Amino acid sequence: MHITYHPITLHKKVPLTISRGTRSQSTNLFIQLTDDNITGYGEATPFSIGDQTQTPETITHSLDQIIEGISLYHPLDRQIIEESLDQIAPCSAARAAIDVALWDWLGKKVGLPLWQLWGLDPQRIGPTAVTVGINTPEGACDRIRRWHADYPDLRSIKIKLGSPAGIEADQAMLSALQSEFHPHDKISVDANGGWTLDNAKTMATWLAERNITYLEQPLPVSANHQLAELKQHSPLPIFVDESCFTSQDIMPLAQHIDGINIKLMKSGGLTEAHRMIHTARACGLSVMFGCYSDSTLSNTALAQLSPLAHHLDLDSHLNLKDNPCCGATLELGRLMPNNQPGLGVTHLVT
């Protein structure tokens, strides 16, 4: 295999603020993997979750190790490639980029979109959420109006809470947004680990009274041991994100949560994402998909598996000024993959 990569800095139309800070741009690394005159594409997006920080420099180092370790193999040598990646132990974002490129290559090799290769039904894909970050009540209302203006058919909205100013600020922001919600909107809340246990209990009850669908990552990862107590007191389903990277994280949490958020950059690619879906379902958990500052490429990759997810939050590319490629498209609020082989991604900037 011939594997190359290059960085592209992507700029957000609207900076996104969560409990850990604000981000307005991201330098992502885009992978090209070629063999048999077929090229597969992948993307590695930097992210930071406490002590789990993957920078462009971290990803670059891992990609160099991967290229040295697997270039002699053919893209169909998936078993030995996976064993080699286990030995190299790259950062998860770099592994995700390679894994997605391998799947894109395979789909093109056999002439099928990945959703069809896996035997899935795209008509089962639900609406994808668009995100409203932490803001003043006025700023949050302005953001949701802009989302509705840009995408009139959207059906799902995720509200970021966990404000450093406290739950009073969270309540003020959500209360202001209530009048902006449309009757058909599915509303969820993500605190990004920004609450204490007591605050999470208070907010879970308060949010349930306002018809919120589910609550994502209410507690920091360091408070995983408090999830059991929170679940006993929460009228809302509890999903974890930062607390769950791969399938190995699911079993220890399964009795204390209701669902997991799968992201390509955390899981290390579609291979592990697929494994996580079935592990979660075997544990009786629901599944949602999420994203970081990903372009259309990565969100299109997860869209291929979206018929298997209960909730979707694949909106990061909708907030980019300079999206480098085309792929899945928003149709009636749903991010729908196309019928092209592999990922179905085109016009990748090189």
Q: Which of 25, 125, 37, 31 is nearest to 332 (CA)?
A: 125
Backbone angles phi, psi at 111, to 5 degrees: 75, 30
241 is in an annotated binding site: yes
pLDDT of residue 195: 97
Question: Which pLDDT tens digit goes with each residue over 328-339?
Answer: 999 999 999 999
Q: What is the mean pLDDT of residues 74-101?
A: 98
Cα separation values, 279 from 37, 47, 112, Å: 36, 24, 26
160 is known as an active-site residue: yes
180 is written with which tokens? 């902006």
Q: Please write the tens of the pLDDT for every residue from 255-302.
A: 999 999 999 999 999 999 999 999 999 999 999 999 999 999 999 999
Taking the domain 2-110, which CATH number applies? 3.30.390.10
Band (pLDDT 50/70/90 cuts) for residue 349 is low
- Tally of residues, the chain: 350
Report pLDDT digits (tens) over 182-204.
988 999 999 999 999 999 999 99
Structure tokens that stand for 216 in this block? 């994502």
107-114 mean pLDDT: 98
Architecture of domain 116-336: Alpha-Beta Barrel (3.20)
| Rg for the chain, CA atoms, rounded | 19
**Is residue 272 annotated as involved in ligand binding?**
no
H-assigned helices in the chain: 56-70, 78-88, 92-110, 114-117, 137-150, 167-177, 197-208, 227-233, 250-253, 264-267, 270-282, 296-303
CA–CA separation, 279 and 274 (whole Å): 9
Q: Please classify residue 145 by burial: count the beta carbons closer than 10 Å to its beta carbon, then call 0-12 exposed, 13-18 middle and 19+ buried.
A: exposed
Number of H helices, E strands in the chain: 12, 15
Q: What are the sequence ranges of the domains in the chain?
A: 2-110, 116-336
190 is in an annotated binding site: yes
CA angle 289-290-295, nearest 5°?
A: 120
Same fold for the pair 2-110 and 116-336: no
**Spatial distance between the Cα atoms of 173 and 151, rounded to a whole number of angstroms:** 22
Catalytic residue among 158, 186, 201, 263: 263
pLDDT at 23: 83
Residue 266 among the catalytic residues? no
The active-site residue, picked from 160, 186, 201, 266, is: 160
Predicted confidence (pLDDT) at residue 350 exceeds the cutoff of 60? no
Give yes or no for residue 20 having a pLDDT over 90: no
The secondary structure element, H or E, covering residue 259 is: strand 259-262
Distance, in Å, from the CA atom of 251 to the CA atom of 255, rounded to the nearest integer, reads 8
Share of the chain above pLDDT 90, in %: 93
d(CA 255, CA 59): 34
39 — pLDDT class (breaks 50, 70, 90): very high
